[in-house]
Amino acid sequence: MKTLRAYLSTLLITALIITSLPVAAAPTTDHSMDLVSTQSVLAEDNAGADRERINAILARADVQDQLLKQGVDLDEVDARVAALSDAEAQQMAEQLEMMPAGAGGGVIGALFAVFIILLITDILGLTDVYPFTR
């Protein structure tokens, strides 16, 4: 029994060493095996978010009407947006957000804030703007 145990343990140790050698000696030049940094993942995620913002703005009916009036094919616009690099998509999304038609609701937010402030002051009795607060 001892000889069988010694033989099997020697055989198993040898098999484990032989099978692990090719893995340990394998070259690591394959770039798909590199570590992924947080910045690269966030950059890819931001690029996808930028493309979604561009597509959301371009999907609006008023934007599509203006593009059609100017003779631009909508399929060509979609193809060009898909062909943008990540940096170009980020730059275009920022420019579209700064434009009045693509603004992210800054005017609406300001009007809503004024409404809320007047509503609160009217409820507190400091102003008399809304008749439904009495």
> Is 83 inside a domain boundary?
yes
Overall pTM surpassing 0.85 (yes/no): no
Alpha carbon distance 89, 80 (integer Å): 10
pLDDT higher than 80, residue 15: yes
Place of tokens 């001892």: 2
> Is 1 inside a domain boundary?
no
Alpha carbon distance 74, 34 (integer Å): 40
H-run or E-run covering 122? helix 106-123
Range of the domain at 97: 38-103
Quick one: 98 and 111 in the same domain? no
Quick one: 94 and 50 in the same domain? yes
Quick one: 76 and 126 in the same domain? no
Q: Specify the pLDDT at position 10.
A: 92
Q: What is the mean predicted confidence (pLDDT) over 1-28?
A: 79
Alpha carbon distance 54, 25 (integer Å): 48
> Is 43 inside a domain boundary?
yes
Quick one: 74 and 126 in the same domain? no
> How many structural domains comprise the chain?
2
pLDDT digits (tens, 9 = 90+) for 33-63: 667 778 777 777 777 788 888 888 888 888 8
**Least confident range of 3-17, 21-35, 93-107:** 21-35
> Is 73 inside a domain boundary?
yes
Q: Specify the pLDDT at position 28.
A: 59
> Is 9 inside a domain boundary?
no
Quick one: 45 and 95 in the same domain? yes
